Each structure stands twice: as C-alpha cells, then as structure tokens.
A and B are shown apart, each in its own frame.
Chain A
Amino acid sequence: MDYLLEGLHTALLLLVSGQPETWSAVWATVQVTLMSMAASLTLGIPLGFVLGYASFPGRKTLRLISDTLLAFPTVLIGLLVYALICRRGPFGDYELLFTLTGIAIGQTVLALPIVASLTAQAVESQDARLRQTLRTLGADGLDLALGCLHEARFSVILAGLNAFGRVVTEVGISMMVGGNIKWDTRTITTAITLETGKGEFAVGIALGLILLLMAFGVNLGLVLVKRKAGVR
C-alpha cells in the first residue's frame, strides 16, 4: 500500500520538478508512438477496409490470419525484428538496432493487425441497406467506398485507439529492439522495467501514472474532436 501512495507522490514530483530523465523517456515514447501509429494507420485502414468491403477469393483466409495476429506476443515481435535488423541481419546495413525507428517498426507490426482487423470488422458489420441508400443517392465506385468508410469512421477511430493502447504499453519490443539506452531509446515502459528491476517500485508506479496520464490526454483530445465534428 505504501508503494502506491509513494508512487503517486513521486509521480507528481517527477512531473512538477521537470526531471530531464523523465521528460526524455516521455519524449521517446511520444516519438515512437507517433511513428508507429502513423505507419499502422496509413497502411492498416486501407488494408482493413478492403478486407471488410471487397469480396474476393481468399478474403476469409486473410481475415483469419489478421485476426490471429492480434495475439502476436510482443517479445516474439521483438525477437523477429531484432533478427532482421541486427548488424548481421538482412537489414543490418540500415543500422536500425537500438534506435527509436527500430522500435517503431516492431510496434507497427504489432499495431497493423489491430487496425486492419477492427476496421474490417466495422465495415463488415455495416447495415446492408447503407450501400443501397448511398447508391440511391447516386454514389458508385470510389464514392460508394469512401461513403462506407465515412460511415464507419468512429469504429475506425476506436480501432486506432485500441492499437494506440497496445503500442504505448508494450515493453517487449522496446526492450529487445531499443535496448533501453538512456537519453536515447529509453521509453516510459522500459524505464518502468528498469526501475522495478532496481527495486525502485515507487518510481516505477510514478512512471506508470505518467503513461496513463498521456493516454487520458489522447482520449480526451478525441472526445473533443468528436464533439466539434458534431456527432449529431
């Protein structure tokens, strides 16, 4: 119990005193999250939309694969990415190991199936009359597809939020690929692991609270955007 109170106290201290170590980890987390979310949304939304909207042979199989990848263990992703980008790996020349970009690649592998599967799910479960209605209004081809995507937008946002939650909390990829290097690739989650390993439980809890605070900020931002867009 003491740990929790002490953690809360430490979290406030860390934030208020503006400790450079803490901010460095926060900034690293922001950077990798931006990169991996940008990549997984750019790739995942079109991919998921096609999987849910179009009908072609093998679609069910692809859906099955993408749904299975939802359970991809992060440590395994970390190991796979490590094997590919370590200096002796096939992509060793790009020197991505122990960089934020390397972590972001791994996190994209983590987030992509989430965005794709949930987007596909959202489009699949749309009322069949939606397409008929849009057709009646004169939409066809690309317009029709974009119309359906537009109607699914809030489910797509939810897909993005789900992926964000996984990305921002994962530690296996960040540790294995990033190496937890201070001032560099130390993210909030790897810092939590480090502090916990050192027995500094209160600092670990404090960093966890900071992460939650960031997630709260993102969600609050989206609520405001939704309100402004006028969910009528």
Chain B
Amino acid sequence: MRTPRTARPVPVVLALLALTILVVLPALAEETLMMATTTSTQDSGLLEYIAPLFKKDTGIELKWVSVGTGKALEHGKNCDVDVLLVHAPGAEKEFVAAGHGVDRRQVMYNDYVLIGPAKDPAGIKGKTVPEALKELAVKKAVFVSRGDESGTHKQEQALWKVADLPVPDKEAWYVQAGQGMMATIAIASERTGYTLTDRGTFIKYEAQNKGNPPLVILIEGDKTLLNQYSVMMVNPDKCPKLKKAGALTFLDWWVSPRAQRAVADFTLEGKQLFFPNAGK
C-alpha cells in the first residue's frame, strides 16, 4: 500500500448501512388491520374520521390503501389486505362467488349525481337517467367518464345499459379520463362537459369553487343512482396470513349501532354524506 489514498469511502458506507438498519427496525408494534378501499371514502374524509373511532372501540389500528374498486378487489385477490370497503355490488358479488371474499355486509349508501354545465346545452335537466343519456348520445355532448374500472365507472357503464345504449368507447364526445373523481370533474369542467360523480366529491368540488361551480347537479334522486357500500373479509382459506379475528371484529363493528350512528353523524361542508343501512 504505497499510495495511501481513498480509505475514506469505507466509513461513509458503514454509516449509511447503520442508518439503513436504524430506519428499517421500527414498526413492529400494535395490532393493525390492512384495508383496501375506494378513493371516495378517503377523499371525502370519512376514513380519517372513522379510523380513530374504530381504534378507540377495538384497539385495532386501521391502515388503508385507497384505490379504484377494481384495484381494491385485485389487492384482495392477491391477499395483500385483510378487509375491503368498496362500492360496486355487481363486481363484489362476482368476487365472493369466485371465492375471493367472504362475509359481505352492506353498511351504508350515498348517491351519484349527473352533473354538467349550468347552461345545460344538451337540455337534460330534470329528465330520467336513461332519457338524459340518450339525449347526450344524440347531441354528441361531451361526456367525461372515469374510465378506470372504479365503482363509479362500473355504475356509469351499468347506466348506459339501463338506457339500452351501447357503452360508448371511441366516440369523439366520450372522454375516458382514467383518473380519480376530482380530476375527472376538472376535465369535464375544462371541456364544458357532463359527468357522473358521487355526491361527496361533488360537495367538495362545490366548496372548492366557493359555492359557484361551473358544473352543477342536473339529475339527482333517481333510484338508479344509489351507491351502495359494503365491507367484506378477504377469504381466509386462500390467504393463510390473513388476520381473521381482527377482520371479523372489523365487520361486526361496522354493522354495530355505534358505528352506524357515527356514519350518519359524519358531515362534509355541513351536509350529511353517507346514510347507514346495515342489515336492511
């Protein structure tokens, strides 16, 4: 070793490694439950309100990933999570029938609304949903779809079928955003188009536009616009590591009177957003 250079990197690397170990070690504490859920429950603020109540009652820490219903179900299929809170009854029933989920219980609902420009160029205000969709198709009015296999997207596809219309795809007026609800509303707003949204996201959008939004509710209250939320456990027989006891506590808690009342008490901008209907 005649050239005494560059012994310096060694302590630096050691320090980095030590830091790595320090950083990896924690997070092996209390009981946690992993949930996959949809964007609407997180973006409306419901989960941030519910999780502390759930922890207080059961001692279990609820963690969640908030993705479209399609991806949430995929996480269930892959045993990545213990429980699901989703809102696509058709897809959920298929999921249970295929043996990926068990013990599905409905817990609450809210509703979808059809929104569009205040001037309503296609003239759909006050019509029934099928009539309105036909009108939009005939007039080739811009309609922005979520296009991401989310619960809202599946609902929208179902509505086209109810109206006896093929689900549009390549039509120039049919825009498939492939993004979350708020981003989809923003696109509809920029293109002065129509879209289907859950009421929670719309209330937030309204508040962000200081109560004077470019897009307004044109159709609401139609029974085809009901949005049912359910909880279920991922199939413990297929996922050996699933926290079955915790998952069961979670399901029981959701249908308990206390949790149901908490859901009813939750408001966004002073408006009730979710309506409990467990066991109905």
Are A198 and B182 closer than 8 Å at their CB atoms? yes
B18: nearest chain-A partner, CB-CB: A38
A98: interface (CB < 8 Å): yes
Are B5 and A179 closer than 8 Å at their CB atoms? no
Min Cβ gap B70→A in Å is: 14
CA distance A138 to B1 in the complex (A): 10
Are B39 and A35 closer than 8 Å at their CB atoms? no
Are B80 and A86 closer than 8 Å at their CB atoms? yes
Are A197 and B39 closer than 8 Å at their CB atoms? yes
A97: nearest chain-B partner, CB-CB: B80
List A contacts of B176 (CB < 8 A): none
List B contacts of A200 (CB < 8 A): 208
CA distance A87 to B183 in the complex (A): 31
B212: interface (CB < 8 Å): no
List B contacts of A149 (CB < 8 A): 6
Count of chain A to chain B residue pairs whose CB atoms are closer than 8 Å in the complex: 90
CA distance A149 to B182 in the complex (A): 51
Are A34 and B20 closer than 8 Å at their CB atoms? yes
A37: nearest chain-B partner, CB-CB: B16
List B contacts of A92 (CB < 8 A): 79
Min Cβ gap A126→B in Å is: 15
Are B2 and A198 closer than 8 Å at their CB atoms? no
Q: Scan residues 148-178 of chain B and give those whose CB is less than 8 A from a CB of chain A.
A: none
List B contacts of A147 (CB < 8 A): 3, 5-6
1/0 contact trace for A190-218 toward B, CB 8 Å? 00000011111000000000000000000
List B contacts of A146 (CB < 8 A): 3, 5-6
- With A137-B3, A143-B3 known as contacts, the answer to whether A181 contacts B78 (CB < 8 A) is no
Name the one of A88, A99, A143 contacting B79, with C-beta atoms under 8 angstroms. A88
Task: Give the B interface residue count (CB, 8 A).
Answer: 36
B77: nearest chain-A partner, CB-CB: A88
Are B5 and A150 closer than 8 Å at their CB atoms? yes
Q: Scan residues 85-115 of chain A and give those whose CB is less than 8 A from a CB of chain B.
A: 86-89, 92, 95, 97-101
B17: interface (CB < 8 Å): yes
Min Cβ gap B198→A in Å is: 13
B65: nearest chain-A partner, CB-CB: A179
Contacts A42-B13, A146-B5, A198-B182 aside, 15 further interface pairs with beta carbons under 8 A come to: A38-B16, A41-B13, A42-B16, A92-B79, A98-B63, A138-B2, A139-B2, A143-B3, A150-B5, A182-B48, A197-B180, A198-B204, A199-B183, A199-B185, A199-B186
5 A/B residue pairs, CB under 8 Å, sorted by A: A86-B80, A138-B2, A149-B6, A184-B63, A197-B180
Binding site for B on A (CB under 8 A): 31, 34-35, 37-39, 41-42, 45, 86-89, 92, 95, 97-101, 134, 137-139, 143, 146-147, 149-150, 179-182, 184, 196-200
**Closest 9 A/B residue pairs (Cβ):** A179-B65, A38-B16, A87-B79, A199-B182, A197-B180, A150-B6, A146-B6, A31-B23, A86-B78
